[in-house]
Structure 1
Amino acid sequence: MSRPSAIALIVRSRKALLADADERPSDEAERLRAAADDLTRLMFDVRAGRVSAFELNEPTRMQVVVSAD
């Protein structure tokens, strides 16, 4: 997957987690917000080229390999 596509995927996943957190009890919402924070860090790492492969678990499990630019 291209770097811009990988970043877009992370952004969509993060938005979905945050939207889901708004509808959950506080303890589960806290877990979802923490996962969204992890995705934010991952997004910056992918953008900077520090990460070239990662796995997403939400909303579905997938492995992503970022292609060279």
Structure 2
Amino acid sequence: MRQDDDTRKDGTGLGRRQFFRTLGGGTAAAAAAVASVPLGTTEAQAYDPGSAETRSRYRETDHVKAFYRTNGYETLKK
């Protein structure tokens, strides 16, 4: 049993296809409204990380030295 595409038999008047047509039209209208709003420009602020975040964190500890030794990185040293 097939229902009519535009209206339902229970009298609501809005079928599945009509619902999706309406939904699509509303989405297009919302996108057009957002696109018509001019965007304001603001000046960018620079981030200063400070001395704590820019200091060197690399430490050649015993386990790092063991990793280099077992993977053959000692041959690359000058």
Higher strand share: 1
TM-score above 0.5, yes or no: no
More helix by share: 1
Taking structure 1 as the reference length, the TM-score comes to 0.35
Name the TM-score, length of structure 2 as normaliser. 0.31
Choose 1 or 2 for highest CA Rg.
2
